[in-house]
Structure 1
Amino acid sequence: MTTGLDTTRSSSGTEDTPASSFGSSVYGGRPTFAMTRREGANGGAVTLYELLPEEQAAARRDRLERHGRSLTVKSFEDLFEDSSSEEVPQWDWDGWTAVKIARLDGGRFRALSSLIQETIDNAELDAATVISSGAGDLFLPEAVGVRLALAFRGIKPLQRVDRMRALCRGVAQMGDEECYYWHAKCRAPSSPNGEKALRTLLTDHL
């Protein structure tokens, strides 16, 4: 699928650049996204978070609130204190937060599960932690989190299964830099229609 946004890609990389090249070197290589799986009323529910220092999360929340939008920010410690993930003791998380991107369950989670599996497998991580039953936490490198954030944001308001699947296929076929472009557009305070534009691009042919 061609999304027609080749002109938004910079010359610093290509579509087949490995995810590790887009890692969070500014934070010393630590993961900057995390996904949790919990059992809920509709079965398994997965939530995607972006991990940010407190001051950055607060600044982003303030910018969004000035534009009439909200942001859910949780303490890293409160959310992951009891996590068995090896990433928790590996890094110093003092002063870090988890910014909620979206929580999905039921049909939306089922529609998204193949993209989650493929994206995580490509990063050589264990997708079973969040795909299989039970509770689990999985910490993700930046490029993986950015791609999944697009799918989580885009699929949330959709009702039709064919549109959900089309959106997931479109996100799966994007190059890393195109994902970064749309990720920035979807979360920018000055671009309130970014998510709608993404859904239009990937599902309006149906």
Structure 2
Amino acid sequence: MSTPARSRAFELRVLPLGEGAYALGLFQSPAGPAANGDLECVARLQGDPLRTVIEPVLSALKRAGYRPTDLRPARREPFRLAEMDGVRLGLLFLALRPLRKPSRMEAVVERIRTMADEELYYWYSKSTAPREGRRAQRALRTLVAEE
């Protein structure tokens, strides 16, 4: 008899950068029987990529029961997110992190926003794989925002 899959915990944390600026870090509970409860950082985002993804971030926070005004530089308590929202934000953060062109960032956000759940899980698992993650992230960016 197989055991049911357990939902993975996600947290979004505000990481202060000074003078009112902040980054966001997405953290996830590790998979597997050796998981000790500590959360691992999936990705951090700041600057222009963060500004590009702020709408999906605020939507995820709203679905989790938070107000948009809860997202502020002084916040120390993490935001707890549903697994699906964590996967979507994780994929967005990973895909946007190296980009600099606003048009390309917006194309990535729009395409990931409209992905089916199964496609999101596929790309998320590929993009967070220890050995091949960076290659999968590059492939995803090429697929969703060709240039």
Give yes or no for TM over 0.5.
Answer: yes
- C-alpha change, 1:156 and 1:52, in structure 2 (3 Å) is same
SS of the residue aligned with 2:79? Answer: strand
Task: Write the deviation string for residues 56-98 of structure 1: whole angstroms up to 9, x where unpaired.
Answer: 45xxxxxxxxxxxxxxxxxxxxxxxxxxxxxxxxxxxxx3111
- C-alpha change, 1:182 and 1:130, in structure 2 (3 Å) is farther
Is residue 40 from structure 1 mapped to residue 17 from structure 2 by the alignment? yes
* Aligned 8 A contact 1:34 1:140 in 2: yes
* Aligned 8 A contact 1:167 1:203 in 2: yes
SS of the residue aligned with 1:97? Answer: coil
Is residue 196 from structure 1 mapped to residue 138 from structure 2 by the alignment? yes
| CA distance, structure 1, for counterparts of residue 39 and residue 49 of structure 2 | 22
Distance apart, 1:26 and its partner CA: 3.7
Matching residue of 1:49: 27
What root-mean-square deviation, in Å, do the aligned CA atoms of Structure 1 and Structure 2 show?
2.4
Matching residue of 1:166: 107
User: What are the equivalent positions in structure 2 for 1:50-129 lying under 5 Å apart?
Assistant: 50-52=28-30, 56=34, 95-121=36-62, 123-126=63-66, 128=68
Distance apart, 1:115 and its partner CA: 1.5
Distance apart, 1:128 and its partner CA: 2.5
TM-score by length of structure 2 reads 0.82
Task: Write the deviation string for residues 38-62 of structure 1: whole angstroms up to 9, x where unpaired.
Answer: 32147121100111368645xxxxx
| Structure 2 unaligned spans of 5+ | none
Structure 1 residue identity aligned to 2:17: G
| Structure 1 unaligned spans of 5+ | 1-24, 58-94
User: What are the equivalent positions in structure 2 for 1:140-155 lying under 5 Å apart?
Assistant: 140-155=81-96
| CA distance, structure 2, for counterparts of residue 148 and residue 130 of structure 1 | 17
Distance apart, 1:111 and its partner CA: 0.7
- C-alpha change, 1:51 and 1:129, in structure 2 (3 Å) is farther
| CA distance, structure 2, for counterparts of residue 179 and residue 33 of structure 1 | 15
Distance apart, 1:120 and its partner CA: 3.4
Tell me which structure has the larger Cα radius of gyration.
1
* Aligned 8 A contact 2:24 2:46 in 1: yes
| CA distance, structure 2, for counterparts of residue 56 and residue 140 of structure 1 | 22
* Aligned 8 A contact 1:54 1:97 in 2: no
Question: Percent identity, aligned pairs only?
Answer: 27
Q: Which has the higher contact order (CA 8 A, sep 6+)?
A: 1
* Aligned 8 A contact 1:37 1:130 in 2: no
